[in-house]
Structure 1
Amino acid sequence: MLKEDDLITIRRHLHQIPEVALEEVETHAFLMQVIGMMDQKFLKILEPKELPTAILVRVQGSDPSRTIGYRTDIDGLPVDEKTGLPYASQHPGKMHACGHDMHMTVALGVLDYFASHQPKDNLVFFFQPAEESEAGGKRAYELGLFEGEWRPDEFYGLHVNPKMQTGVIGCRMGTLFAGTTEVNIDVIGKGGHAAFPQDAKDAVVAASALVMQVQTIISRSINPIESGVITLGKFEAGTIRNVIADHARLEGTIRGLTQVMIEKIKERVQEICEGIERSFEVEVRLGLNQGGYFPVENDPVLTKRFIRFMQENPDVVYEEVPPAMTGEDFGYLLHQFPGTMFWLGVDGGAQLHESSMSPKEGAIQKGITAITEFLEYRMITEE
């Protein structure tokens, strides 16, 4: 079995080889190497050709009444690492700045335990590519990877949290992470001389009005006790000061804690765009792309059980946490299967996605212990 020193060595190697979405070839090979060293008696491994950097590992239960899924993401970010660590990224411009190296190591530790301690229920471990972009969870689902014996009845996954103390488990009922939707808007007007605005359709003026109206969605169309965000972070238009622009481009993001909230915001953006078209006699082309980044809405029954176990477990320090407006594509899978996502504290100083983020490795074994104990408990509960 993997000891804590082995796990730290694994994590540091993974940290040195970050790869971005759908390019996790070296990471995949190393994961397969580690998994291959485990007891294979209860294991079945799937390397899907349709999603070649993904890995699914099934652990056969001794007396299964369900199949429990556990997911870890494996991709890194296009970030230049600035930690100064001796095991810093060896891939220029890429880093595990979101802690996926920790996620993978914890998953390997849990898998290694059950490879040598046969679980009662079946387990399916999903080593998922492309969480940070390209919606790897959605891709896997739509490719049919979770069918037949690979279909989980419930799904679990964690995310590290550098704001929480090392090894602390954090969770909440309801939504843990927001869903996100990309917003792209093109305003098409008619160019002209700055001295003759009556002969043009000014895209800058129309787009500016659109920006101001969009800012009223949260304050005037959304229940103030609920949460949503819409930010238009990019505005491009025009070529020179004395020419009225015929085109403006806006790009932004929508975030909401429920899918109902996101749909409401999207509906209002559409209505505002239609109104701008009529008011300014321009064409407005709206593109909304949510992909697989749905809100991470924890299942009420499974999550209540998970929280109760963590609160009562003497080996665990548990904290109730607020929702976060960051996105996570595990939300898509939780809209297909009931499940729970939770935080693992890593006391990393710098925040997620920062170039100096450095999680405390003492969280690895604590996370493995909490998860394996919970899964064993879950297997003996009937409901």
Structure 2
Amino acid sequence: MTVVNFEALQQYRRDLHLIPELALEEHQTHAYLLEKIKSWQNDTMRIRTVPELPTAILVRFQGTDPKRTIGYRTDIDALPIAEQTGLPFESTHPGMMHACGHDVHMSLALGLVHYFSQNQPKDNLVVFFQPAEEAKSGGKLAYDLGLFTDEWRPDEFYGIHDQPDLPAGTLSTLDGTLFAGTAELKVAVHGQGGHAAYPHLVKDPIVAASELIMQFQTVVSRSVDPIKGGVVSIGVINGGQANNVIPDDVYFEGTVRSMTRVGLDLMMKRIRQIAAGVALANDITIDVSLESGSYLPVENNSALAQQVITFMQSRDDIDFEVAQPAMTGEDFGYLLQQIPGVMLWLGVNDTHSLHSPKLNIDESALLPGFEALKSLIEWRMAH
């Protein structure tokens, strides 16, 4: 019996950390993963690649006595961030980094594939290596392409996301919504520029944009149930080149987040209404783009989440905490809207946040993370 050990998981993680790639461009990552998976292939396994989504990989194990198909998903893309860790296995791709821990996610998934290639599962098992989580809606692309049909459709889906704020190796989830649904907000305010000394002859897009940004704050404070909450934050604003010239246009971007699908839809509706009102009041044109893509709320299935929590709490060899909801976005939310399942945090104990150029996960999380996931899948197959 082959045992997945810490050294193997660490090597996967470090190898993958060297070669981060952006959404839908994960070709070197794909080749690395496929080489490992093919080296373990046997008669119980099927490996599937998809020409329409060329960096995706699915692995299916035939169960010995299947009652269901369990799905496990990992994301494989990285972020456009220049690494600043100074690690000996620092990113070799300039301006790209696994700053969200997808190297960890992939390593655990490889561990699961290796383990179940040596220990045939009782139920059918599908492991999905998903491209484009950080951008370009890889989960939605995969689902819309029909990847999860017939024998490839899981009855339930599981996945993890690393969490620097938790002790290394600690698992955490909840019965309910773990992560928020998010939408990318892009706004173009088109006015009529001119000399700043003659404001009556222009249609000032800076004043209108300022009004719009302030009005957007009322979406959460006055349109959203305060118990449920939400976020509207602006992170980018551009307009003008000289202090005495009113520009024609102002552009700004932000994020909109809610813990429920209904809440996200409401917030997007109110933003469009406010923009239309400000445009009318200022006699200008405002273009609003709101794209949620696959970043829907990560809503854990209640019955499955309760089972996961009960299992984790019953095991002396698993460190577990009940989670609090987070405004983090994750496109596993789209798949959980289609197929019931559960996402969990895995603690990686770092003082730097996700998406930090200095994120340096504690690798001691790898083996307990793998063991907990492997045990959970086997327990679920026995119940």
1:223 maps to amino acid: D
What TM-score do you get using the length of structure 2 for normalisation? 0.96
* Separation of aligned partners in 1, 2:242 and 2:83: 39
Kept after mapping to 2: 8 A contact 1:14/1:101: yes
- Change over 3 Å in CA distance of 1:79–1:200 after alignment to 2: closer
* Separation of aligned partners in 2, 1:286 and 1:120: 50
Other structure's SS at 2:192 match:
coil
Q: Residue in 1 aligned with 2:207?
A: 205
Other structure's SS at 2:161 match:
strand
C-alpha distance after superposition, 1:29-84 (max 9, x if no partner): 11111112215121000011111111000000111111111000111122222222
- Residues 27-38 of structure 1 aligned to structure 2 (within 5 Å): 27-38=29-40
Kept after mapping to 2: 8 A contact 1:16/1:88: yes
Kindly state the Cα deviation for residue 18 of structure 1 after the two structures are TM-superposed.
Answer: 1.2
Indicate yes or no: 2:186 matched with 1:184.
yes
- Residues 8-23 of structure 1 aligned to structure 2 (within 5 Å): 8-23=10-25
Q: Residue in 1 aligned with 2:107?
A: 105
C-alpha distance after superposition, 1:280-311 (max 9, x if no partner): 11122111111111111111111111111001
Kindly state the Cα deviation for residue 121 of structure 1 after the two structures are TM-superposed.
Answer: 0.8
Q: Residue in 2 aligned with 1:367?
A: 369
- Residues 262-277 of structure 1 aligned to structure 2 (within 5 Å): 262-277=264-279
2:377 maps to amino acid: L
Kept after mapping to 2: 8 A contact 1:186/1:284: yes
Kept after mapping to 2: 8 A contact 1:179/1:293: yes
* Separation of aligned partners in 2, 1:240 and 1:104: 49
Kindly state the Cα deviation for residue 240 of structure 1 after the two structures are TM-superposed.
Answer: 3.1
Kindly state the Cα deviation for residue 215 of structure 1 after the two structures are TM-superposed.
Answer: 1.4
Alignment equivalent of 1:142, drawn from 136, 140, 144: 144
Kindly state the Cα deviation for residue 244 of structure 1 after the two structures are TM-superposed.
Answer: 3.2
Kindly state the Cα deviation for residue 265 of structure 1 after the two structures are TM-superposed.
Answer: 0.9
2:140 maps to amino acid: K
Q: Residue in 2 aligned with 1:159?
A: 161
Alignment equivalent of 2:340, drawn from 338, 341, 365: 338
C-alpha distance after superposition, 1:70-118 (max 9, x if no partner): 0001111222222222222222222211111111111111121111111
Indicate yes or no: 2:129 matched with 1:127.
yes
> In terms of mean alpha carbon deviation, does 133-142 or 345-354 score higher?
345-354
* Separation of aligned partners in 2, 1:307 and 1:96: 29
Q: Residue in 1 aligned with 2:232?
A: 230
- Taking only the aligned residue pairs, the percentage that are identical comes to 51
2:14 maps to amino acid: R
Indicate yes or no: 2:45 matched with 1:43.
yes
Q: Residue in 1 aligned with 2:253?
A: 251
Alignment equivalent of 1:241, drawn from 243, 246, 252: 243
Q: Residue in 2 aligned with 1:317?
A: 319
C-alpha distance after superposition, 1:120-173 (max 9, x if no partner): 111000001111111111111111111111111110000111111111111011
2:184 maps to amino acid: E
> In terms of mean alpha carbon deviation, does 183-192 or 165-174 score higher?
183-192
Q: Residue in 2 aligned with 1:78?
A: 80
2:47 maps to amino acid: I
Other structure's SS at 2:338 match:
coil
Q: Residue in 1 aligned with 2:223?
A: 221
2:50 maps to amino acid: P
Kindly state the Cα deviation for residue 233 of structure 1 after the two structures are TM-superposed.
Answer: 2.1
- Change over 3 Å in CA distance of 1:18–1:192 after alignment to 2: closer
1:264 maps to amino acid: L
Kept after mapping to 2: 8 A contact 1:41/1:115: no
Other structure's SS at 1:112 match:
helix
Output the aligned Cα RMSD. 1.4
Q: Residue in 2 aligned with 1:169?
A: 171
1:73 maps to amino acid: D
Query: What number of residue pairs does the alignment pair up?
Result: 381
1:68 maps to amino acid: I
* Separation of aligned partners in 2, 1:110 and 1:268: 44
Kept after mapping to 2: 8 A contact 1:167/1:344: yes
Indicate yes or no: 2:285 matched with 1:283.
yes
Q: Residue in 1 aligned with 2:119?
A: 117
* Separation of aligned partners in 1, 2:241 and 2:348: 48
- Change over 3 Å in CA distance of 1:72–1:204 after alignment to 2: same
* Separation of aligned partners in 1, 2:76 and 2:162: 13
* Separation of aligned partners in 1, 2:75 and 2:264: 24
What TM-score do you get using the length of structure 1 for normalisation? 0.96
- Change over 3 Å in CA distance of 1:360–1:235 after alignment to 2: closer
Alignment equivalent of 1:307, drawn from 309, 314, 318: 309
C-alpha distance after superposition, 1:211-269 (max 9, x if no partner): 11111111111111112000122222234333333322221110111111111111111
* Separation of aligned partners in 2, 1:92 and 1:248: 31
Other structure's SS at 1:63 match:
coil
